[in-house]
Structure 1
Amino acid sequence: MGKKGPYDYLIVGAGLFGAVFACRMKAAGKKVLVVERRDTRGGNLYCDRIAGINVHSYGAHIFHTSDKEVWDFVNRFAEFNRYTNSPLAYYRGKLYNLPFNMNTFYSLWGVTTPQQACVRIEEQRRAAAVAEPRNLEEQALSLVGRDIYEAFIKGYTEKQWGRPCTELPAFIIKRLPLRFTFDNNYFNDRYQGIPIGGYNVLIDGLLDGIEVRLGMDFFEHRSRLEALADKILYTGSVDRYFDYCFGRLEYRTLRFETEVLECGNYQGNAVVNYTDAAIPYTRIIEHRHFDGSGPESRTVITREYPSEYRDGDEPYYPINDVRNEAMYEKYKMLADADSNTLFGGRLAEYKYYDMHQIVRKALDLSKREL
């Protein structure tokens, strides 16, 4: 069968998945075209430059992985710094280290040994007396007890999901890691960092020499674009691809409030989570602490507000409850039956992925295609 159009692959979306796949296809000698509805590359990795500081426009992104192939791959296109994610939690006027570790337990209870911390947690787990957790609250109490749940989980989670923890399914929290060392490194992965110069450097490296058309909505030009290539990689919302024939999948979205401040250091850390229910935002990001960019006299902060998803918003977090998962499975059957279209990424697969997982899946898909 002859070629359908001038391109081997049409890639819908210039985010990380699309960029990695495009890079691998080009390296194999394939002709690819990338179309992106936004005016910027990189999807939610896009960084803006404000007051000389690299600003993570769609929320904080820290690359971390234990997959050496993935780490070596991204380092071919950008040099990474040694940033280590060590967020703080603000609760009732006090700051606590995250993840839950001996520094957290010391600040919370005054305990100084792992044995003392274990005893305190086990006492509270027994007091909760939860045999079969029916909701997220009971799941958290059965894992970490009342104090940690009330201080660090309840308010933050209810803001994040917009509903009480007693109404959220238990499976949202499969585990809550407890670290009985004085280690504030949030991730356990072997490799961690942020591209020097911001994520735009990584995306531009991946898409170097590849035709990218920005400001082009695939659905507005669908028939014309589909005729240009033999196969399509689609990274957008899977329900929209099939014209919402089974209904609309649900998401939570985020609103960002970014501010330039006339000081060089606002909070002393890149990420501070606000776990009090009364504070409307979930965290404040101070971007300069990711890479040290910008003048000493100014800083840029972003407050992050979760909210209900409305049509036209950015879909961030899939609501993977029973109803939505059942709906997604119907869409997946249609996607699997479409031999000319590949589906990849968090929106196309209706699943939250970290960046290293996206790179791994895009690399694996490209290997299967080649």
Structure 2
Amino acid sequence: MKKKYDYLIVGSGLFGNVFAHQMNKNGFKCLVIDKRNHLGGNIYSEKTEGINVHKYGPHIFHTNDKSIWDFVNQFVEFNHFRYSPLANYKGELYNLPFNMHTFHQFWNVKTPQEAKAKIKDQIKDLNIIKPKNLEEQALSLVGKDIYEKLIKGYTEKQWGRDAKGLPSFIIKRLPVRYTYDNNYFNDKYQGIPIGGYNKLTEGLLENIDTQLNVDYFQNKEHFNELASKVVYTGKIDEFFNYKLGYLNYRSLRFESETLEQENYQGIAAINYTERNVPYTRIIEHKHFEYGQGPKTIITKEFPQEWDKNKEPYYPINDDKNISLYKKYKDLADQEEQIIFGGRLAEYKYYDMHQVIASALKKSNDILNNQ
């Protein structure tokens, strides 16, 4: 008997929404469900005082892939925002990402050669040949001074672990440049949707059935019966009822405040790098869209240990968790009617352009094999 839908998509994040859009465009009927009271997953923004507040932390779109840029721009126009945060250490401000401005602020050096010589001198006695952990990787990249003030405390409160116990690849995502360039991302295409990310979500899900405030696991059989196939974008261990154990994440807590002033900090984001400051950064949302109103909204971002009642944000990709994920992946590969995709289902940190590319590839692979 033909089912009502071709695809049930569990989770309205970017992976699920892009997949649904592509399949709907090609004549397949889709239903997108989400346990939250809104669509869009973590890119959802909430309009307050005329300001689009990034409810689950700031999202800055960036990519070098013109096809991905063209794809998102068919739904909403993007502005020219460039992410150039500052770091605050005990009241002193430093430019990010680490670049010649930062090196000049620390050591009064003016040339790349002077900066490299300073870093080399700071790590010459450490004998770091192949960095074994985040601390060694960071020291080899930027030397002791910057590591101690701008990396160590921030990283340890972000991850809740000693920097020596964290894998080196985490810090490799941080740009280090020997140019006077405060643009955090080098990508050719960058920006924020004009009017907020909800416009992107609305465009992706146009003419697609959606249901909110529904928990897939509380009525799994009912939802599975609705569609020929299920696209699952939630936590992979939850899908299998945690029967092999829990995968670990770091979570976040946000405290937002509306201020009766036009401009609080003059920039979209300032990182607070001291270990004893409980939040990692303060976001001022209006600066993402060059807002001019009389009020402003700031959000303090507090990292915290994850449990199953909290939102999972960052997978902890250490050896133990990677090993456990592989076991869950083996189980997932045996599920013929279930397609697993996205950050939580793949236990993988994705930037937005990467998760869109993943969803496009998955949908195109299916369409090409029809």
> TM-score, length-normalised on structure 2?
0.97
Say if 2:34 and 2:215, in contact at 8 Å, map to a contact too: yes
Secondary structure (helix, strand or coil) at the match of 1:289 reads: helix
Q: Which residue of 2 aligns with 1:254?
A: 252
1:323-351 CA-to-partner distances (Å, cap 9, x unmatched) read 11110000001111111110110000000
Say if 1:53 and 1:294, in contact at 8 Å, map to a contact too: no
CA distance in 1, matches of 2:313, 2:92: 29
CA distance in 2, matches of 1:366, 1:135: 37
CA distance in 1, matches of 2:48, 2:161: 34
1:107 and 2:105 equivalent?
yes
Q: Which residue of 2 aligns with 1:61?
A: 59
Displacement after TM superposition at 1:130 (Å): 1.9
Written as runs of structure 1 = structure 2, the 5 A alignment for 1:209-358 is 209-293=207-291, 295=293, 297-358=294-355
Which deviates further from its counterpart, 140-149 or 201-210?
140-149
Q: Which residue of 1 aligns with 2:136?
A: 138
CA distance in 2, matches of 1:294, 1:251: 37
1:267-313 CA-to-partner distances (Å, cap 9, x unmatched) read 00001101111211000000000002362x21000000000002210
CA distance in 2, matches of 1:12, 1:231: 11
CA distance in 1, matches of 2:273, 2:179: 23
Say if 1:141 and 1:149, in contact at 8 Å, map to a contact too: yes
Displacement after TM superposition at 1:88 (Å): 0.6
Displacement after TM superposition at 1:124 (Å): 1.6
1:177 and 2:175 equivalent?
yes
Q: Which residue, out of 14, 32, 39, partners 2:12?
A: 14
Q: Which residue of 1 aligns with 2:199?
A: 201
Displacement after TM superposition at 1:115 (Å): 1.3
Gaps of 5+ in 2: none
Gaps of 5+ in 1: none
CA distance in 2, matches of 1:134, 1:367: 39
1:158-211 CA-to-partner distances (Å, cap 9, x unmatched) read 010112212323343346532111111000111000000100010001001100
Displacement after TM superposition at 1:145 (Å): 1.3
Displacement after TM superposition at 1:132 (Å): 4.0
- Counterpart of 1:252, as a letter, is R
CA distance in 2, matches of 1:183, 1:292: 21
Secondary structure (helix, strand or coil) at the match of 1:332 reads: helix
Secondary structure (helix, strand or coil) at the match of 1:144 reads: helix
CA distance in 2, matches of 1:266, 1:174: 31
- Counterpart of 1:54, as a letter, is N
Secondary structure (helix, strand or coil) at the match of 1:173 reads: helix
- Counterpart of 2:324, as a letter, is M
CA distance in 1, matches of 2:335, 2:173: 36
Secondary structure (helix, strand or coil) at the match of 1:163 reads: coil
> Given the superposition, is the C-alpha separation of residues 17 and 294 from structure 1 closer, same or farther in structure 2, using an over 3 Å criterion?
farther
Count the aligned residue pairs.
367
1:86-139 CA-to-partner distances (Å, cap 9, x unmatched) read 111111211111111111111111111111111111212323222343432122
Say if 2:68 and 2:356, in contact at 8 Å, map to a contact too: yes
Secondary structure (helix, strand or coil) at the match of 2:124 reads: helix
Q: Which residue of 2 aligns with 1:362?
A: 359
- Counterpart of 1:306, as a letter, is P
1:250-275 CA-to-partner distances (Å, cap 9, x unmatched) read 00000000000111000000011011
- Counterpart of 1:325, as a letter, is I
CA distance in 2, matches of 1:345, 1:53: 28
Q: Which residue of 1 aligns with 2:36?
A: 38
> TM-score, length-normalised on structure 1?
0.97
- Counterpart of 2:271, as a letter, is N
Displacement after TM superposition at 1:248 (Å): 0.7
Q: Which residue, out of 153, 156, 162, partners 1:155?
A: 153
